[in-house]
């Protein structure tokens, strides 16, 4: 078991996050005091480095068995390690610090494939997950210890390996009197349910379904590649959702499956978006109506998850949204309309910028790993026991 200490009463770390939206690398420089659920976090600097279009398309290809290959995954693993190191170094510099002042870097990595349920027909395809962005490259390039590859430890004790953020959500947003849902809208949507006064054993969390993933692919296709996302939800605001098609989309069995559950591009990626676009074309929808329908689909999937699974579990007073979807005004308005009894808020109102939350939480997960503290949430992932998630690469 790792037992790690600094010569200060606090640690300074960089948390790195690159999610299923494949939009870039988020880097948060944080100061952490205390340990475990008593940790206190101060954000010193945050910045996001977008992937260029060519890299984004290469990553999408790696996430698709029809276009992926082992050489490309092998090379991209090291290449992303370099990019993550550059992002960490730049964030430290902009924070007015030097890398020598950083205790560790903690990275989620880039998910290429997530398979929490084993296909029954192939005994070699066991439950597993793959995040790339080599930790050794990250450690050697930054000169700091690098923590990452968190998901496999939870899978090894029977969990889904996701979601990972509930540990940090409880630290950052737990409230003695208010019930809260922390809804992140990245490529995939995931929520953490925090009852009033919740302890770790009270937390529920799961992936709600597609977040920005189907919207982004729809916008990219309809714009002929000129746009990669619907900025502010402006295009969706010009259209009218096809409610019949939304209902059809909501019939997918994933939405009825009870937690713990997790998903990704394997289920709601490019192939799913292509099928959605074909169905929309059959119905004669205009482009703005198609984008509005994709946006409404995400809103309905989140609201349905809240009503079906979260609200029976706990009193909910607030839905606090983070991730890129928090900036989509049309999506936020749809959520507020579908959940009128809850206050629909943004994480920034609580001092945690919407885009920074997950990177901050990965710094917390890395800190827990180095202290030997369990950092999974079995009630959320379905793991058989608490465990210490993460791996370490030394500089």
Binding site residues, as ranges?
19-26
Task: Specify whether the CB–CB gap between 188 and 211 falls below 8 A.
Answer: yes
The CA distance from 200 to 205, in Å, is: 11
Checking phi first, is residue 155 left (phi over 0); if not, alpha (psi -120 to 50) or beta? alpha
Helix (H, G, I), strand (E, B) or coil at 296: helix
User: What letter does residue 335 receive in the DSSP assignment?
Assistant: H
Q: Which two tokens stand for residue 344?
A: 């629909």
Q: Which two tokens stand for residue 29?
A: 């420089």
3-state helix vs strand vs coil in the chain, percent to 5 = 45, 20, 35
Q: What value, to the nearest 5°, has the Cα angle with vertex 41 and ends 179 and 313? A: 20
Neighbouring CB atoms inside 10 A of 243's CB total 11
CA dihedral of residues 313, 301, 268, 275 (deg, nearest 10)? 150
The CA distance from 91 to 218, in Å, is: 32
Binding region for ATP: 19-26
Distance between alpha carbon 25 and the CA centroid of its chain, in Å? 12
Q: Which two tokens stand for residue 212?
A: 């920005």
Distance between alpha carbon 26 and the CA centroid of its chain, in Å? 11
């Amino acid at each position: 078991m790792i037992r790690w200490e600094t010569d200060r009463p606090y640690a300074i770390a960089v948390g790195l996050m690159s999610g299923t939206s494949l939009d870039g690398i988020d880097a948060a420089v944080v100061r952490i005091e205390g340990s475990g659920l008593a940790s206190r976090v101060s954000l010193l600097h945050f910045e996001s480095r977008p992937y260029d279009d060519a890299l984004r398309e290469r990553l999408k290809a790696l996430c698709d068995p029809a276009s992926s290959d082992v050489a490309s995954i092998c090379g991209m693993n090291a290449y992303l390690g370099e990019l993550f190191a550059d992002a960490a170094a730049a964030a430290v510099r902009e924070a007015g610090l030097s890398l020598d002042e950083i205790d560790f870097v903690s990275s989620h990595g880039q998910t290429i494939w997530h398979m929490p349920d084993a296909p029954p027909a192939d005994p070699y395809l066991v439950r597993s997950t793959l995040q790339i962005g080599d930790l050794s490259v990250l450690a050697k390039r930054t000169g700091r210890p690098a923590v990452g590859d968190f998901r496999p430890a939870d899978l090894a004790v029977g969990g889904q390996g996701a979601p990972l953020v509930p540990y940090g959500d409880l630290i950052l947003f737990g409230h003695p009197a208010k019930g809260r849902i922390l809804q992140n809208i990245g490529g995939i949507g995931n929520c953490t349910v925090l009852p009033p006064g919740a302890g770790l054993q009270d937390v529920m969390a799961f992936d709600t379904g597609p977040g920005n993933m189907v919207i982004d692919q729809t916008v990219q296709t309809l714009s002929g590649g000129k746009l990669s996302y619907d900025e502010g939800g402006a295009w969706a605001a010009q259209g009218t959702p096809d409610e019949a098609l939304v209902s059809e989309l909501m019939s997918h069995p994933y939405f009825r499956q009870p937690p713990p559950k997790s998903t990704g591009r394997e289920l709601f990626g490019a192939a799913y978006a292509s099928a959605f676009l074909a169905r929309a074309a059959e119905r004669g929808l205009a482009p703005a109506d198609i984008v509005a329908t994709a946006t409404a689909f995400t809103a309905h999937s989140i609201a349905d998850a809240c009503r079906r699974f979260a609200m029976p579990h706990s009193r909910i007073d607030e839905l606090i949204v983070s991730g890129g979807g928090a900036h989509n005004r049309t999506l936020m308005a749809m959520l507020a309309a579908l959940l009128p009894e809850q206050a629909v808020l943004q994480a920034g109102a609580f001092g945690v910028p919407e885009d920074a939350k997950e990177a901050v939480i990965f710094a917390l997960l890395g800190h827990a790993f180095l202290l030997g503290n369990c950092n999974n949430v079995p009630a959320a992932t379905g793991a058989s026991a608490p465990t210490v998630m993460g791996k370490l690469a030394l500089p």
